């Protein structure tokens, strides 16, 4: 691969003082009989290697450091693989936490009275047949006629309309309005006591993916006071449910 020096004797002339080969010097007196040819060949080889490496310094340096460099490269390679694996693992863990974390559509609508919402709760609905999960936010209060602000159910629904319709929601009334989002709906008149609000469908084939808001207003069953029970509920699918329903 590399050209050898033209002749060894020529290479040695410049380094005779560094590599003596004639037996003279301090080592000549102590040399044992029969060892001269071996010492001569060893010195010739040392002198040749010195001259050859002097002219081929880059190769000699690479050759002497080849193993340590390979070791460092292997260490850095393993370290990089571990770092990438750690980053991917942490990313997947954070993604799973984000996908599985609950989310709620909290409505920033004041209660239709001066007392505010009496009860606010959060929870989830689980469909046992499909495993789909929906999270709900629910607020409850009571509106008395004596308060003088609302005297009928329609006035309370108009109050909710003023907030929701201006925000892009559309109101619906019918037999199936809030059929599963609002448990009380089965006991109420779907035409006069329950209103369902939805945004325009994003997935028209899967309307249950949509966020839903339900408002229910019915008379207080009491002979002492007159007024209305008011419930406002928002329902939103979990991120995983939203994903599977969109691609189901």
pLDDT at 13 over 60: no
How far, in whole angstroms, is CA 13 from its chain's centroid?
72
Q: Give the position of tokens 């892009």.
A: 168
Of 1-5, 203-207, 211-215, which gets the smallest average pLDDT?
1-5
| Residues with Cβ within 8 Å of residue 220, at least 6 apart in sequence | 142, 226, 227, 228, 229
Q: What is the pLDDT of residue 184?
A: 85
CB-based contact 209:239 (threshold 8 Å): no
In the chain, % of residues over pLDDT 90:
26
pLDDT of residue 179: 83
More confident residue, 81 or 139: 139
Prediction pTM value: 0.60
What is the chain's mean pLDDT, rounded? Answer: 75
Q: What is the DSSP letter of 137?
A: E
């Amino acid at each position: 691969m590399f050209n050898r020096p033209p002749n060894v004797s020529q290479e040695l002339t410049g380094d005779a003082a560094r590599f003596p080969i004639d037996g003279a010097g301090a080592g000549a007196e102590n040399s044992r009989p029969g060892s001269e040819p071996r010492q001569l060949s060893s010195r010739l080889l040392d002198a040749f290697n010195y001259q050859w490496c002097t002219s081929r310094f880059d190769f000699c340096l690479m050759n002497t450091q080849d193993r340590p460099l390979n070791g460092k490269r292997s260490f850095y390679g393993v370290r990089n693989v571990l770092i990438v694996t750690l980053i991917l693992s942490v990313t997947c863990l954070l993604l799973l936490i984000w996908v599985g974390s609950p989310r709620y559509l909290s409505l920033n609508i004041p209660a239709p009275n001066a007392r505010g919402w009496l009860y606010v709760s959060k929870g989830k609905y689980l469909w046992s047949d499909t495993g789909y999960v929906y999270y709900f936010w629910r607020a409850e209060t009571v509106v008395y006629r004596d308060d003088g602000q609302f005297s009928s159910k329609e006035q309370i629904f108009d109050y909710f309309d003023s907030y929701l319709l201006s925000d892009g929601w559309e109101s619906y009334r019918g037999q199936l309005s809030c059929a599963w989002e609002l448990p009380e709906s089965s006991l109420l008149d779907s035409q006069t006591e329950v209103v369902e609000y939805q945004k325009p469908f994003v997935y028209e084939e899967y309307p249950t993916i949509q966020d839903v808001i339900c408002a229910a207003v019915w008379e207080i069953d009491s002979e002492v006071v007159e007024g209305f029970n008011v419930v406002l509920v928002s329902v939103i699918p979990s991120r995983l449910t939203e994903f599977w329903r969109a691609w189901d």
